[in-house]
Protein backbone atom coordinates (compact mmCIF):
# COMPACT_ATOMS: atom_id res chain seq x y z
CA UNK A 1 0.00 0.00 0.00
CA UNK A 2 2.78 2.47 0.90
CA UNK A 3 4.55 1.88 -2.42
CA UNK A 4 1.31 2.49 -4.31
CA UNK A 5 0.71 5.72 -2.40
CA UNK A 6 4.25 6.97 -2.95
CA UNK A 7 4.15 6.08 -6.65
CA UNK A 8 0.82 7.88 -7.03
CA UNK A 9 2.10 10.86 -5.07
CA UNK A 10 5.36 11.12 -7.01
CA UNK A 11 3.73 10.71 -10.43
CA UNK A 12 0.64 12.82 -9.75
CA UNK A 13 -0.14 15.63 -12.11
CA UNK A 14 0.69 19.03 -10.69
CA UNK A 15 -2.39 20.27 -12.48
CA UNK A 16 -5.38 19.59 -10.28
CA UNK A 17 -8.93 20.56 -9.89
CA UNK A 18 -9.56 22.67 -6.81
CA UNK A 19 -8.87 20.51 -3.75
CA UNK A 20 -9.07 17.26 -5.72
CA UNK A 21 -5.31 17.00 -6.20
CA UNK A 22 -4.54 17.66 -2.57
CA UNK A 23 -7.21 15.48 -0.99
CA UNK A 24 -7.04 12.79 -3.67
CA UNK A 25 -3.35 12.32 -2.86
CA UNK A 26 -4.18 11.69 0.81
CA UNK A 27 -7.38 9.62 0.65
CA UNK A 28 -5.81 6.42 -0.78
CA UNK A 29 -4.23 5.90 2.64
CA UNK A 30 -7.78 5.79 3.93
CA UNK A 31 -9.11 3.23 1.45
CA UNK A 32 -10.80 1.15 4.15
CA UNK A 33 -13.00 4.11 5.12
CA UNK A 34 -16.22 5.18 3.45
CA UNK A 35 -15.25 7.76 0.74
CA UNK A 36 -16.92 10.76 2.41
CA UNK A 37 -15.26 9.99 5.74
CA UNK A 38 -11.91 9.45 4.02
CA UNK A 39 -12.09 12.91 2.43
CA UNK A 40 -13.19 14.40 5.75
CA UNK A 41 -10.18 12.85 7.54
CA UNK A 42 -7.83 13.92 4.72
CA UNK A 43 -9.06 17.52 4.96
CA UNK A 44 -8.86 17.40 8.77
CA UNK A 45 -5.22 16.23 8.56
CA UNK A 46 -4.37 18.87 5.95
CA UNK A 47 -5.80 21.63 8.16
CA UNK A 48 -3.80 20.38 11.14
CA UNK A 49 -0.67 20.59 8.99
CA UNK A 50 -1.47 24.22 8.14
CA UNK A 51 -1.13 25.14 11.80
CA UNK A 52 1.97 23.00 12.30
CA UNK A 53 3.66 24.74 9.34
CA UNK A 54 2.54 28.25 10.25
CA UNK A 55 5.84 29.01 11.98
CA UNK A 56 7.82 27.23 9.22
CA UNK A 57 9.00 24.48 11.57
CA UNK A 58 7.10 21.29 12.36
CA UNK A 59 8.29 19.88 15.67
CA UNK A 60 8.21 16.21 16.66
CA UNK A 61 5.65 17.19 19.33
CA UNK A 62 3.36 18.71 16.69
CA UNK A 63 3.72 15.61 14.52
CA UNK A 64 2.89 13.33 17.45
CA UNK A 65 -0.21 15.38 18.31
CA UNK A 66 -1.37 15.38 14.67
CA UNK A 67 -0.92 11.60 14.47
CA UNK A 68 -2.90 11.07 17.69
CA UNK A 69 -5.70 13.36 16.50
CA UNK A 70 -5.91 11.74 13.04
CA UNK A 71 -5.93 8.30 14.69
CA UNK A 72 -8.85 9.34 16.93
CA UNK A 73 -10.83 11.29 14.32
CA UNK A 74 -10.36 8.69 11.60
CA UNK A 75 -10.58 5.63 13.80
CA UNK A 76 -7.27 4.54 12.29
CA UNK A 77 -4.48 2.29 13.50
CA UNK A 78 -1.29 4.12 14.44
CA UNK A 79 0.64 3.22 11.27
CA UNK A 80 -2.14 4.49 8.99
CA UNK A 81 -2.46 7.72 10.97
CA UNK A 82 1.28 8.31 10.53
CA UNK A 83 1.01 7.83 6.76
CA UNK A 84 -1.97 10.19 6.53
CA UNK A 85 -0.12 12.88 8.51
CA UNK A 86 2.98 12.46 6.34
CA UNK A 87 0.93 12.75 3.14
CA UNK A 88 -1.03 15.74 4.45
CA UNK A 89 2.21 17.44 5.45
CA UNK A 90 3.77 16.82 2.02
CA UNK A 91 0.63 18.06 0.26
CA UNK A 92 0.61 21.21 2.37
CA UNK A 93 4.27 21.95 1.63
CA UNK A 94 3.70 21.51 -2.12
CA UNK A 95 0.29 23.12 -2.52
CA UNK A 96 -0.29 25.73 0.20
CA UNK A 97 -1.73 29.11 -0.69
CA UNK A 98 -4.90 28.75 -2.75
CA UNK A 99 -5.20 25.07 -1.84
CA UNK A 100 -5.27 26.06 1.83
CA UNK A 101 -8.41 28.06 1.16
CA UNK A 102 -9.99 25.43 -1.10
CA UNK A 103 -9.45 22.54 1.33
CA UNK A 104 -10.80 24.66 4.20
CA UNK A 105 -13.83 25.63 2.14
CA UNK A 106 -14.49 21.98 1.24
CA UNK A 107 -14.22 21.02 4.92
CA UNK A 108 -16.70 23.80 5.71
CA UNK A 109 -19.18 22.35 3.21
CA UNK A 110 -19.10 18.80 4.61
CA UNK A 111 -18.54 19.33 8.34
CA UNK A 112 -21.20 19.85 10.97
CA UNK A 113 -20.90 22.69 13.48
CA UNK A 114 -19.81 20.13 16.08
CA UNK A 115 -17.09 18.79 13.75
CA UNK A 116 -15.89 22.33 13.05
CA UNK A 117 -15.69 23.00 16.79
CA UNK A 118 -13.74 19.78 17.30
CA UNK A 119 -11.36 20.77 14.51
CA UNK A 120 -10.77 24.17 16.12
CA UNK A 121 -9.90 22.54 19.44
CA UNK A 122 -7.51 20.22 17.62
CA UNK A 123 -5.87 23.12 15.76
CA UNK A 124 -5.15 24.83 19.07
CA UNK A 125 -3.85 21.52 20.47
CA UNK A 126 -1.36 21.24 17.58
CA UNK A 127 -0.23 24.82 18.15
CA UNK A 128 0.10 24.25 21.90
CA UNK A 129 1.92 20.92 21.56
CA UNK A 130 5.30 22.58 22.13
CA UNK A 131 3.84 24.50 25.10
CA UNK A 132 3.27 27.78 23.27
CA UNK A 133 1.13 28.99 20.41
CA UNK A 134 3.14 31.52 18.43
CA UNK A 135 1.42 34.43 16.74
CA UNK A 136 1.76 32.83 13.28
CA UNK A 137 -0.08 29.71 14.50
CA UNK A 138 -2.76 31.82 16.20
CA UNK A 139 -3.24 33.81 12.99
CA UNK A 140 -3.45 30.63 10.88
CA UNK A 141 -6.12 29.23 13.19
CA UNK A 142 -8.06 32.49 12.93
CA UNK A 143 -7.91 32.35 9.11
CA UNK A 144 -9.25 28.81 9.15
CA UNK A 145 -12.04 29.88 11.53
CA UNK A 146 -13.06 32.66 9.14
CA UNK A 147 -13.41 30.29 6.18
CA UNK A 148 -15.34 27.87 8.40
CA UNK A 149 -17.66 30.77 9.28
CA UNK A 150 -17.12 30.29 12.99
CA UNK A 151 -18.65 33.16 14.90
CA UNK A 152 -16.10 35.47 16.51
CA UNK A 153 -17.53 34.87 19.99
CA UNK A 154 -17.15 31.10 19.50
CA UNK A 155 -13.59 31.57 18.27
CA UNK A 156 -12.74 33.70 21.31
CA UNK A 157 -14.23 31.04 23.61
CA UNK A 158 -12.22 28.27 21.95
CA UNK A 159 -9.07 30.40 21.98
CA UNK A 160 -9.54 31.27 25.67
CA UNK A 161 -9.31 27.59 26.56
CA UNK A 162 -5.69 27.74 25.34
CA UNK A 163 -4.76 31.22 26.59
CA UNK A 164 -1.92 29.98 28.80
CA UNK A 165 -0.17 28.77 25.63
CA UNK A 166 -0.66 31.96 23.60
CA UNK A 167 2.74 33.61 23.10
CA UNK A 168 1.14 37.02 22.67
CA UNK A 169 -0.26 36.82 26.23
CA UNK A 170 2.92 35.54 27.91
CA UNK A 171 5.04 37.94 29.88
CA UNK A 172 8.56 38.49 28.66
CA UNK A 173 11.20 37.57 31.20
Return the HEC string of 71-86.
HHHHCCCHHHHHHHHH
Among the ranges given (44-58, 83-97, 106-120), the one the predictor scored with the smallest mean pLDDT: 83-97
Over residues 11-27, the mean pLDDT reads 51
Q: What is the extent of the structural domain holding 137?
A: 2-169
Give percent of the chain above pLDDT 70.
77
The radius of gyration of the chain from alpha carbons, rounded to an integer in Å, stands at 16
Report pLDDT digits (tens) over 27-47: 666 677 788 888 888 899 999
**pLDDT at position 10, please?**
39
Give percent of the chain above pLDDT 90.
41
Kindly tell me the burial class for residue 22, based on how many C-beta atoms sit within 10 Å of its own C-beta (0-12, 13-18, 19 or more).
buried
Residue 127 in this model has a pLDDT that exceeds 80: yes
| CB contact at 8 A, 27 and 39 | yes
What are the backbone dihedrals phi and psi of residue 111, each rounded to the nearest 5 degrees, phi first? -90, 145
Averaged pLDDT score across all residues of the chain: 81
Residue 11 in this model has a pLDDT that exceeds 60: no
**Total domains present in the chain:** 1
Among the ranges given (60-64, 138-142, 158-162, 164-168), the one the predictor scored with the smallest mean pLDDT: 164-168
**pLDDT at position 163, please?**
73
Amino acid sequence: MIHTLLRRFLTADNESTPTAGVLDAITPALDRLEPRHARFVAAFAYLLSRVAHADHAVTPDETAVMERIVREVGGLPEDEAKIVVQLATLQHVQHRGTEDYLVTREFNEVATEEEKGRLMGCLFAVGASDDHIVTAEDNEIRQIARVLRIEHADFVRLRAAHRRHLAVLRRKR
